[in-house]
Amino acid sequence: MNVRTLFTREALMAGWFRRRVIVLLAAVLLVGIGVAGGVLKMSAERTTNGAVSIADGARFVFVPSGGAPQVAVIDGKSERVVARIDLAGIPDRAVVSDAADVIAASVSGRDALEIVPLSAPASRIQVKLPITPEFLVLSPDGYLLAVADGKRGAIAIVSLQQRKFLFTLSGLGDPRNITFSLDGSQLYVTDGKSLELAVVDIVQQTILERVALEREPSMASGVSALTRTADGRFGFVSLGGSNHVAVIDLRTLTLVKSLAVGSAPLRAYGTADGRLMLVPNDVDRSISVIDTTTLQVAATLPGAKDVIGINTGWFESHAFVLSRSERRVTVLDLMKFVKLGEVELPAFPAGGVVDSAGQKLYVALTDSDQAAVIDTRTMKLAALIDGAGRRPWGALMTRSNNYCH
């Protein structure tokens, strides 16, 4: 073996060794990158203080508590409570806005709103108001909040984007039945005493028009808030005392129809595709289905007593009628107009919300401190989520299939 051969072998061995070291280092580096990626992924789901990030509007469900100063946050992927938002008091009303990245809540008896940024829940602020917030309505774009005070007959407008109070509107009688127009520039306020619809211009801060809800006004009571169609063309107001639904053309601000429905109708619920209005009739325990194209009652279906809400899902083919006193959900077929069945619940239901895909309905269960998850396709109870707050009274999502009134 000559020196040249020995050098070559040593060089080859050295080269092999270097390559092995490089491969090993590369492997370690890749593992490190993978671990770092995992850490980054985990960090992306957590805020700077270590709490779970709750800013993903399509993923998280917010459940306000009626017995504790907090809102429970449910992860729609794991179906578990993953965080709790602390408030200054027990929330009696709440809304969530994806556009403004906040949850806003009112506390009974306080002339203020609690606003919590979803991306930084620890940095909550209070917005002082000249009125007591008894009712909250979010604008369609999610930037404005209308706050009603029935005793003072006033409405306050709050900018959630700027986190501040803007102005008040007074002289509205009982303004708790309020609805934003489709573009958010106006408010529709129904008055059960005068049986009128007041149209408020937010920019001009004045009442533009008053529309009679009945052609022959009576002493009927039980007027609901207005529910507008998805295109903003028509508004529907239930008149509980006369068992009718008033249909208002929101472009011309005129009463165009008065539809006879069941006994003691409650507020209408629209489908997300804009096809139908569903009116629960409390005494009849029925649902009047109104076709929004023909403006006629297309069907009357079995309903329930003490309806607290109607949610739609599974490509708007199913309606879920929540009954508090009966502790069940009645399921209706919105294509064939028949009753499909019932979902029994282990406790009294409060408000519900359907996820953005229309596949899961979340329902707060008040007396068991749980939330129920109903599969909208199979129409079955899919899960019960424990620890959803003390006496939870609702379920909210920033992005959902629920039609915004």
Tokens found for residue 218: 């009576």
Same domain, 321 and 372: yes
**What domain range is 10 assigned to?**
1-44
Q: Does one domain contain both 77 and 3?
A: no
First CA to last CA distance, the chain: 92
Q: Which helix (H) or strand (E) holds 106?
A: strand 102-107
Reported pTM? 0.86
**Can you list the alpha helix ranges (DSSP code H) found in 45-69?**
none
Number of structural domains (the chain) is 2
Considering the domain boundaries, does residue 192 fall inside one? Answer: no
> Is residue 40 a part of any domain in this protein?
yes
The pLDDT value recorded for residue 52 is 58
3-state secondary structure of 35: helix
CA distance 289 to 334: 9
Indicate the burial class of 152 (C-beta count within 10 angstroms; 0-12, 13-18, 19 or more). middle
The answer on 372 and 343 residing in a single domain is yes
Q: Could you tell me if 340 and 393 lie in one domain?
A: yes
- Distance (Å, rounded) from C-alpha 390 to C-alpha 397? 19
> Domain check: are 338 and 400 in the same one?
yes
DSSP 8-state assignment for residue 31: H
Question: In terms of domains, do 19 and 70 share one?
Answer: no
Q: What is the pLDDT of residue 47?
A: 41
Domain assignment present for residue 78? The answer is yes
Query: Are both 8 and 69 inside the same structural domain?
Result: no
Q: Which pLDDT does position 222 carry in this prediction?
A: 83
Find tokens 């993953």 and name the residue. 82
Same domain, yes or no, for 40 and 69? no
Sign of CA dihedral 135, 319, 65, 266: positive
In order along its 405 residues, the chain shows pLDDT tens digits of 333 333 333 333 344 344 443 333 334 333 343 433 333 232 233 443 445 579 888 899 999 999 999 999 999 999 999 999 999 999 999 999 999 999 999 998 899 999 999 999 989 999 999 999 999 999 999 999 999 999 999 999 999 999 999 999 998 888 889 999 999 999 999 987 788 999 999 999 999 999 999 877 665 568 999 999 999 999 999 999 899 999 999 999 999 999 999 999 999 999 999 999 999 999 999 999 999 999 999 999 999 999 999 999 999 999 999 999 999 999 999 999 999 999 999 999 999 999 999 999 999 999 999 999 999 999 999 999 999 999 999 999 999 987 655
Is 9 among the domain residues? yes
Reading the block at residue 249, the tokens are 């053309």
Q: Is residue 157 part of a domain?
A: no
| Shared domain check, 364 and 322 | yes
Domain presence at residue 16: yes
Amino acid 2: pLDDT:
36
Following DSSP, what letter does each residue of 146-196 receive, concatenated?
EEEETTTTEEEEEETTTTEEEEEE---SSTTSEEE-TTSSEEEEEETTTTE
Count of helix runs (H) and strand runs (E) in the chain: 1, 31
Q: What is the DSSP letter of 360?
A: E
Residues 313 and 375 in one domain: yes
> Do 376 and 405 lie in a common domain?
yes
pLDDT at 193: 77
| Same domain (yes/no): 21, 77 | no
| pLDDT at residue 194, rounded to an integer | 81
Residue 339 forms part of a structural domain: yes
Identify the CATH number of the domain in which residue 353 sits.
Answer: 2.130.10.10
If one counts every other C-beta atom within 10 angstroms of the C-beta of residue 249, the result is 15
Any domain includes 73: yes
